[in-house]
Amino acid sequence: MPESEKQGEKPALMTEKQLANYISVCRQTISRGINEGTIPPEAKVKIGKRAVRYRRDIIDAWIRKRSGGNAAPL
Give strand pairing partners of 47.
51
Q: pLDDT truncated to tens, each residue of the chain (74 aa)?
A: 455 455 567 779 999 999 999 999 999 999 999 999 999 999 999 999 999 999 999 999 999 998 876 655 55
Residue 39 is assigned to a structural domain of this protein: yes
Q: 30: domain range?
A: 8-66
Tell me how many domains the chain contains: 1
Residue 73 is assigned to a structural domain of this protein: no
Write the single-letter amino acid at 4: S
**What CATH number should be reported for the domain holding residue 26?**
1.10.10
Residue 72 is assigned to a structural domain of this protein: no
- DSSP state for residue 25 in the 8-state scheme: -
CA distance 53 to 22: 13
Residue 2 is assigned to a structural domain of this protein: no
